[in-house]
Amino acid sequence: KNQVEQSPQSLIILEGKNCTLQCNYTVSPFSNLRWYKQDTGRGPVSLTIMTFSENTKSNGRYTATLDADTKQSSLHITASQLSDSASYICVVSADGNDYKLSFGAGTTVTVRA
């Protein structure tokens, strides 16, 4: 069973609207959590990284939150743009194994004009 579960699997939103993606994980002991954006036909690109002591981090219109107690994270996209259409991947690393990551299957976001 995957140790990182993401929801929803996909969503469609109108340009200018906000959306929130969810990530639940069971990886333990926890070291850090990252969100990646993957455009179609490209490799993933890092958006944010949070350690257990951080509960929010922003990168432009992207804001990630982390609740290490409930093992949940969310990625909020504000004022979506057509270029936000991509797959968003939640990635968790276990303490002491930062180079071995657990990847979620991703949420595919489609932004429509």
Q: Which residues lie near other proteins (CB under 8 A)?
A: 2, 4, 31-32, 34, 41-46, 49, 51, 89, 93, 96, 98-106
Question: Toward other proteins, which CB reaches closer, 4 or 77?
Answer: 4
Question: Toward other proteins, which CB reaches closer, 18 or 97?
Answer: 97
For the record, the structure tokens of 68 come out as: 């290490």
Closest approach, Cβ 4 to other proteins, in A, equals 7
Say if residues 81 and 15 touch (Cβ distance below 8 Å).
yes
Question: Toward other proteins, which CB reaches closer, 86 or 104?
Answer: 104
Question: Toward other proteins, which CB reaches closer, 1 or 113?
Answer: 1
Q: Residue type for 48, please? A: T
Give the span between the Cα atoms of 94 and 18, in whole angstroms. 31
Closest approach, Cβ 98 to other proteins, in A, equals 4
Question: What end-to-end distance do the CA atoms of the chain give, in Å?
Answer: 37
Strands 19-25 and 56-59, how do they pair? unpaired
Closest approach, Cβ 90 to other proteins, in A, equals 9
Closest approach, Cβ 23 to other proteins, in A, equals 11
Q: Check the CA dihedral 26-34-87-58 and report its sign.
A: positive
